[in-house]
Amino acid sequence: MRPLQGIKVVTFEHAIAAPFCTRQLADLGARVIKIERPGTGDFARGYDERVSGLASHFVWTNRSKESITLDVKQPQALDIVHKLLADADVFVQNLAPGATQRLGFDYATLSVKYPRLIVCDISGYGLDGPFRDKKAYDLLIQSESGFLSITGSEGEPAKAGCSIADIAAGMYGYTNILAALLERAQTGRGKHIDVSMLESMVEWMSYPLYYSIDGQTPPRQAGASHATIFPYGPFVAGDGKTVMLGLQNEREWKNFCETVIERPELLTDERFSSNSGRAKHREELTRVIVDAFSAWTAAQVIERLEKASIANARMNDMHDVWNHEQLQARQRWTHVQTAAGEIPALYPPGMTAEDDPRMDAVPALGAHTDAILRELGFSAAEVDALRASHAL
């Protein structure tokens, strides 16, 4: 039995944050019914065509769900949503601010009719406050939360290469829902969860916030290097390939000087006698390290770092990760079905094949509409009439 088997989740979701949240619930066995707009569906379906014609974002965040198309502007469709909510455990939405209130699907309204329902609203800035109605996309929240101010190189801010603000909000939605299910088991009552992308990202920004508390200088933009610890970041080897390494303490600095670059005299160089000194003189130290590394290939540098017990990593690209030997050795890949055929999928972190995580198909738009309506008691003729009226 999967942990959330028997839990029913109904969603008004699009893009990444809410779909990523509910996919985690589906992985644990929850039944997730995704309500989509007829004809177009979740607009993330059209982001690209990289996965045999399907969108990479969509196949990532929507496996193991059921898709039903409903035009919620029509009364018949709203009635169907209420039928779905009648025995639902969780309702998740990330529509535009105010949309669910206008439809009558806000927590204040739903909690009267469905007192055991857990409602999770995911938005850019939260359901109140002066920014409530402001449009919020991942890059904009990365900027608003201060993330861009410490990411990239000096004078050249850089966004995270994946949807980090959406992912943060989705994971806080997921964990809060799990907590609310445990709470409901004790109280018998549902709960309202209001997750904002801004607050999720600001939580993740707590280290740089505390570092710059009381008006102190914030962490510098340091590219792929650590802003305050050095040497910690990318260094080029003699074959032109990049090695990532990180030193955390003086013991490792000693090992690095003696065993890796064979420059023990640096241990008595006052410029490099502490982490703050090494960070202050990072340009000089970088030249020393790159000069030493120029005699070796990246593989040889990594071999020396391993011998000295210095943390290191290769600078992998996406093709390297698809073929990563560690993921293969731990059998982390499986497959899921899509309308375009079978695609690889990573097992959810923390779960293995023995845990039997739910890894069902990525749904085509409206693929489950008829089956769900039959389950709700609609006859074939009634379904045809709803489709003719464009409610589906």
For 202-230, the DSSP string reads HHHTHHHHHHTGGGPPPPPPBTTS-SSSS
Nearest CA to 197 out of 2, 391, 15, 35 is that of: 15
d(CA 338, CA 359): 11
For residue 175, the one-letter residue type is T
Question: Which residue ranges make up each domain of the chain?
Answer: 8-204+331-388, 232-315
Whether 232-315 and 8-204+331-388 are alike in CATH topology: the answer is no
- Report the pLDDT value the prediction gives residue 227, as an integer from 0 to 100: 87
Spatial neighbors of 34 by CB under 8 A, at least 6 apart, are: 11, 13, 19, 22, 42, 62, 65, 66, 67, 68, 363
Backbone angles phi, psi at 169, to 5 degrees: -65, -40
Provide the token pair at 128: 């109140």
The model's pTM: 0.93
Tracing tokens 């497959």 back to the chain, one arrives at 335
| Binned average pLDDT, 10 residues per bin, the chain of 392 residues | 96 97 98 97 96 97 98 95 98 94 95 98 96 93 95 91 96 98 98 98 96 93 90 96 95 96 96 94 96 96 96 93 96 96 96 94 98 97 96 96
Provide the token pair at 391: 């409610």
Are 42 and 58 a contacting pair, CB within 8 Å? yes
Does domain 8-204+331-388 fall under CATH 3.40.50.10540? My reply is: yes
Q: Are strands 191-196 and 156-157 parallel, antiparallel or unpaired?
A: unpaired
Domain made up of 232-315: CATH architecture: 2-Layer Sandwich (3.30)
CA pseudo-torsion sign 141, 146, 151, 155:
positive
- Report the pLDDT value the prediction gives residue 97, as an integer from 0 to 100: 87
d(CA 303, CA 230): 20
- Report the pLDDT value the prediction gives residue 273, as an integer from 0 to 100: 93
- Report the pLDDT value the prediction gives residue 222, as an integer from 0 to 100: 87
d(CA 87, CA 106): 17
Nearest CA to 233 out of 242, 221, 220, 246 is that of: 246
For residue 33, the one-letter residue type is I
d(CA 365, CA 40): 8
